[in-house]
A and B are shown apart, each in its own frame.
Chain A
Amino acid sequence: MISLDRASLRYGPILGLSPTTFELPDGGGITGLLGPNGAGKSSLLQLLSGLLPPSGGEVRVFGQAPFRNPAVLARLGLVPEGDRLPSGLRADRWLRMMGELSGLSGEALKAAQARALETVGMADRAHLTFARMSKGMRQRIRLAQALLHGPELLILDEPFNGLDPEARLGLMDLLRRLAGEGVRVLVSSHILSEIAQLTDRILLLFRGRLLAEGTVTEIRQLLDRHPVELRLTGEPLDLARWAVEQPELAALRMEEGAVVLSVRSPRDILPRLQQAAAAGRIPLRALDPLDLNLDAVFQYLTKDHA
């Protein structure tokens, strides 16, 4: 569905996105585009949504270059960052114009508008002006705008910014539902927890470079320089005695009622740990991986590339 081959983007002398290569397969699902402010997320989304041509390399969406390509633009929906909408304008009128810009008209437009509003849960409030809507409602209308023409690819730039927790969860549910229906959702955010809640598949950008791509577990396994930390809860001394005999052990730290191991290749040590615990050779009560989450992966990657 999406492929970038050494695609880069320059804003004059400033490099917005270094040569980047990745592919996203066809079909539904959510991919999180993660990175701090200025990482190049919006630049990447501008390339994908056909707003700008790449300064170098090649961008292909649905097998074609998206820049000023109606055939591609008709199949993708964009929800840009920001919340500013003409305050005195009614949402349904705005949606009608956006639908017409996509080439819809007459009954097809009415049906598409009703379906999109139903999907985002705004069917009974679309007659309101934007000034009378909450931020969450406006965000839903912006999403409805992107859904009008039945896109196969939905691109959202920082859609959770400024939303309260309830609206955020509601939007996440909605995106999951769309992904379940077969829409490929690409959502950017600089907040780790948002992406972690939404999806496991991420593209990690930092300073205009793509640092990693895949699931959190896959990326974590590639980080050889950073041994995985496991907290074993039980009798610390017995656990430590067993741990020091393991060849994968890189470091060991004693805590009250637990021991924290830093291990290389946890895939090797975990089966042995399981067998030892099952055979009663170690008094293990709990096992917690401490840095197999997105937060840790992000910290390690950005530290390595800083």
Chain B
Amino acid sequence: MPIYAPTLPPAPDLNQGQPPALVLMRFDLARLWRQKIGRFFGFAFLMVLIVKLTVIYVKYLLDTNAALRPMQDFAKAVLSQGAEFQAGLLDPASYLLWFLVALVGGGLVARDTLYRVRPLMYAHPVSPRDYLVAKLGFASALPFAVLLPFVLLPWAMSLMVAGLHGPVWPTAPLRLLPAVAVLSLLMGAMAVGASAMAATPRAGVGWVLGLVLGTSALASLVQGLTGFVGAQALNPVLLAQTWPQLFVGMDRPFMGWFPAALGTAFHIGLWTFVAARRTLPSEAVI
């Protein structure tokens, strides 16, 4: 009987799984879920949300309860009104959210750099584009997911207690959700770009905070030196606050549509480009 050469068992079916970008996003989400950082920020944002809902109920009472009528003038002076109030629903898009994005997003790419995971991923059927989409998607989905309740819950509560004439406009989600999408993409791109430049997750956090605060300071410096207000289009914190104001049609937003669009496109383009360059296979040396 001849001796046959050994043959491998049939290979498993490799076409059943999800797209690689989705797998990587799920993995990052599961990792975040297991960390304690989520509990701290969950508590902090919950408190802010409860205050927002309380304010909406107070405004409803002021409008409908005759006994509180004498306080209306005072309340109008203290609480924001109209479009400014609608835009104010997204107040968390300030330093607290930036801090969360820095803490989580700063490690997204840097962790893989530290542990040299990317060569392994690229040796699987994962392209650099899949990787970038996953990281950018996750870093952007995080602020979007945090801000989503701040849009929907006040809106739903206002509709429930006061119908179409409540403190929150019935059309508010249509105006605020696009703003949330834009500012989330801005935050995600900056976080991933900064993380791609760092060698460790901690350094990544530093990079994100440094970039956000550094460009904000730079914008203020340029404005102070030249008197050119448009320089604030470089300020990512201000950009994130401006988009809700623009979408709800506030009379005096921090800046106009054109500088806001230009500044946001500049940041998203630049940091996505940096992240794409830094996550190429040639950077992922074995």
A residues touching B (Cβ–Cβ < 8 Å)? 11, 27-28, 42, 45-46, 49-52, 68, 70, 73-78, 80-82, 84-86, 89, 93, 97-106, 108-109, 111-112, 145, 149-150, 152, 157, 180-183
The answer, yes or no, to whether B18 is at the interface (CB within 8 Å) is yes
In the complex, chain B residues whose CB is within 8 Å of the CB of A109? 17
C-alpha gap A186/B14 in the complex (Å) = 23
In the complex, chain B residues whose CB is within 8 Å of the CB of A108? 12-13, 16
A-B contact count (CB 8 A): 118
The minimal Cβ–Cβ distance linking B155 to chain A, given in whole angstroms, is 37
In the complex, chain B residues whose CB is within 8 Å of the CB of A27? 5-6
Which B residue sits closest to A50, measured CB to CB? B123
C-alpha gap A101/B114 in the complex (Å) = 20
Which A residue sits closest to B31, measured CB to CB? A89
Can you give 17 A-B contacts (C-beta < 8 A)?
Answer: A42-B286, A51-B281, A51-B286, A52-B282, A74-B125, A78-B119, A80-B119, A84-B114, A84-B115, A89-B31, A97-B24, A101-B121, A101-B126, A102-B125, A103-B15, A103-B125, A111-B12
C-alpha gap A103/B27 in the complex (Å) = 15
Within 8 Å by CB of A180, from B6, B20, B116, lies B6
C-alpha gap A46/B122 in the complex (Å) = 10
Q: Is the CB of A157 within 8 A of B124?
A: no
Within 8 Å by CB of A112, from B12, B24, B111, B284, lies B12
Most chain B CB within 10 A, of A46, A49, A103, is at A103
Within 8 Å by CB of B17, from A46, A73, A104, lies A104
Q: Is the CB of A103 within 8 A of B115?
A: no
The minimal Cβ–Cβ distance linking A92 to chain B, given in whole angstroms, is 12
The minimal Cβ–Cβ distance linking A213 to chain B, given in whole angstroms, is 21
Given contacts A103-B17, A181-B6, 12 further A-B contacts (CB under 8 A): A27-B6, A49-B119, A52-B281, A78-B120, A84-B114, A97-B23, A101-B125, A103-B15, A104-B12, A108-B13, A108-B16, A150-B12
Do A181 and B16 contact each other (CB < 8 Å), given the known contacts A46-B286, A51-B281? no
Most chain A CB within 10 A, of B11, B24, B120, is at B120
Q: Is the CB of A104 within 8 A of B16?
A: yes
In the complex, chain B residues whose CB is within 8 Å of the CB of A75? 11
In the complex, chain A residues whose CB is within 8 Å of the CB of B23? 97, 100-101
Q: Is the CB of B16 within 8 A of A102?
A: no
The 8 A-B pairs at the shortest CB distance, nearest first, are namely: A103-B14, A70-B125, A78-B123, A182-B6, A150-B11, A105-B17, A182-B8, A101-B124
B residues touching A (Cβ–Cβ < 8 Å)? 5-18, 20, 23-24, 27, 30-31, 111, 114-117, 119-127, 281-282, 284-286
Q: Is the CB of A104 within 8 A of B8?
A: no
Within 8 Å by CB of A81, from B14, B16, B114, B286, lies B286
C-alpha gap A142/B171 in the complex (Å) = 53
The minimal Cβ–Cβ distance linking B36 to chain A, given in whole angstroms, is 12
C-alpha gap A233/B286 in the complex (Å) = 48
In the complex, chain A residues whose CB is within 8 Å of the CB of B116? 80, 82, 84
C-alpha gap A76/B17 in the complex (Å) = 18
In the complex, chain A residues whose CB is within 8 Å of the CB of B282? 11, 51-52
Within 8 Å by CB of B16, from A11, A42, A105, lies A105
C-alpha gap A101/B119 in the complex (Å) = 13
The minimal Cβ–Cβ distance linking B16 to chain A, given in whole angstroms, is 5
In the complex, chain B residues whose CB is within 8 Å of the CB of A100? 17-18, 23
C-alpha gap A187/B153 in the complex (Å) = 58
Q: Is the CB of A45 within 8 A of B122?
A: no
Which A residue sits closest to B128, measured CB to CB? A68
The minimal Cβ–Cβ distance linking B282 to chain A, given in whole angstroms, is 6
Q: Is the CB of A73 within 8 A of B286?
A: no
C-alpha gap A181/B6 in the complex (Å) = 6
In the complex, chain A residues whose CB is within 8 Å of the CB of B13? 103-104, 108
Q: Is the CB of B286 within 8 A of A149?
A: no
